[in-house]
């Protein structure tokens, strides 16, 4: 079966996901695109999705008879309305992170899906599909013994001028928030944020870098450095310290060079390249489940937990160094 997909938001990642569905993966076809900037939708149609009809709004696209499933890749603040529309239409929906920009918004999605009683939503937490993180999870299960601490880093070479301090949480740390609770099979109970001196490439509205300390229900202490203007590359690090040993996220494959009296290899500079294979696998998974009229993988509940945790981390930024408690609603049985 070929799942007919509509894409809402055809910017950087919308275009890339449309490309992979039409040109890399099996089982899906882009039949509809919409973007508030019509030129962006037209460019995606011209470049990667020639069969797509262009719709004026996301709501019309969701309602279209020939759209079987929806990809929400517009700006974060618009995700909730399209995910709710997809659930109301009974159509599987892949939503890029964040599921919603407020915990209440994510909760509304959880409640709508739970009321339906069937999973329709997959959130774009692609790291769960990255071969390195999958191997790390297996090492925790079979080799390191129970985890005690996690040391992680999320470094971007640069971010746009409009990127401000809370975005380090909502836009960037959110990947660690999801993947670390999945790796540890645990949940968070508190967050703290510490700031060293501001790096020279930062600006008045961005305190960069910062360190987030998360504590889990099982007593694991996690520290994540977020440094979004690190300049030298896109660098994701994760080390688990367990009872019997440690395990590190593998580096992406890179040719080792001996040049000019130096042993060296290149570091990637773009998230698109760092997680290219993971994006392929997550969307292949989405197509497979959508063909059966459902969704698997990171759920609305995971999106809700990420939203609650993000809010606590932003509150912790404002209370520099002081802990902020993280409290969840009860988990509906659909997500147990």
Binding site for ligand NAI (CB under 6 A): 8-14, 34-37, 40, 58, 73-76, 78, 96-97, 124, 126, 171, 271
Give the C-alpha distances (Å, rounded to integers) separating 101 from 27, 97, 205.
31, 9, 20
Write the interaction track for ligand ISE spanning residues 98-137; mark x where CB under 6 A is met and - where it is not. Answer: ----------------------------------------
- For 241, counting Cβ atoms within 10 Å of its Cβ (0-12 exposed, 13-18 middle, 19+ buried), the class is middle
| 8 Å CB contact between 320 and 112 | no
Long-range contacts of 256-261 (CB under 8 A, 24+ apart): none
Closest distance of CB 97 from ligand ISE, Å: 6
Closest distance of CB 9 from ligand NAI, Å: 3
3-class secondary-structure state, position 319 = coil
Write the interaction track for ligand ISE spanning residues 252-271; mark x where CB under 6 A is met and - where it is not. Answer: -------------------x
Residue nearest to ligand NAI (CB): 11
Closest distance of CB 77 from ligand ISE, Å: 14
Please state at what angle helix 79-89 crosses helix 103-116, rounded to 10 degrees.
Answer: 10
| 8 Å CB contact between 298 and 125 | yes
| 8 Å CB contact between 239 and 144 | no
Q: Does 74 bind ligand ISE (CB under 6 A)?
A: no
Write the interaction track for ligand ISE spanning residues 269-288; mark x where CB under 6 A is met and - where it is not. Answer: --x-----------------
Question: 216 or 229: whose CB is closer to ligand NAI?
Answer: 229
Per CB under 6 A, the segment of 33-41, 47-55, 171-179, 248-256 that binds ligand ISE is 171-179
């Amino acid at each position: 079966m070929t799942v007919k997909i509509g894409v809402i938001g055809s910017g950087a990642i919308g275009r890339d996901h449309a490309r992979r569905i039409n040109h890399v993966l099996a089982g899906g076809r882009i039949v509809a695109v919409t973007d508030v900037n019509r030129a962006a939708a037209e460019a995606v149609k011209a470049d990667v999705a020639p069969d797509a009809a262009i719709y004026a709004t996301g709501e019309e696209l969701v309602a279209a008879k020939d759209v079987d499933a929806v990809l929400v890749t517009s700006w974060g603040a618009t995700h909730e309305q399209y995910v709710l529309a997809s659930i109301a239409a009974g159509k599987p929906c892949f939503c890029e992170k964040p599921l919603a920009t407020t915990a209440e918004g994510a909760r509304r999605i959880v409640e709508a899906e739970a009321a339906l009683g069937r999973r329709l939503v997959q959130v774009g937490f692609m790291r769960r599909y990255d071969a390195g993180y999958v191997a790390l999870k297996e090492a925790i299960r079979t080799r390191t013994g129970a985890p005690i601490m996690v040391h992680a880093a999320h470094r971007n070479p640069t971010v746009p001028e409009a990127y401000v301090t809370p975005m380090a949480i909502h836009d960037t740390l959110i990947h660690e928030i999801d993947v670390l609770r999945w790796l540890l099979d645990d949940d968070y109970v508190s967050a703290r944020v510490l700031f060293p001196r501001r790096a020279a490439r930062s600006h008045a509205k961005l305190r960069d870098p910062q360190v987030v300390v998360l504590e889990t229900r099982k007593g694991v202490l996690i520290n994540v450095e977020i440094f979004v203007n690190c300049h030298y590359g896109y660098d994701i690090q994760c080390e688990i310290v367990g009872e019997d040993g440690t395990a590190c996220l593998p580096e992406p494959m890179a040719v080792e060079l001996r040049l000019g009296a130096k042993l060296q290899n290149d570091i990637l500079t773009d998230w698109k390249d760092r997680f290219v294979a993971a994006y392929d696998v997550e969307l292949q998974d989405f197509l497979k489940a959508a063909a059966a009229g459902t969704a698997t993988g990171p759920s609305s509940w995971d999106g809700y937990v990420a939203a609650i945790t993000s809010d606590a981390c932003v509150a912790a930024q404002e209370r520099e160094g002081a802990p902020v408690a993280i409290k969840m609603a009860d988990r509906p049985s659909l997500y147990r």
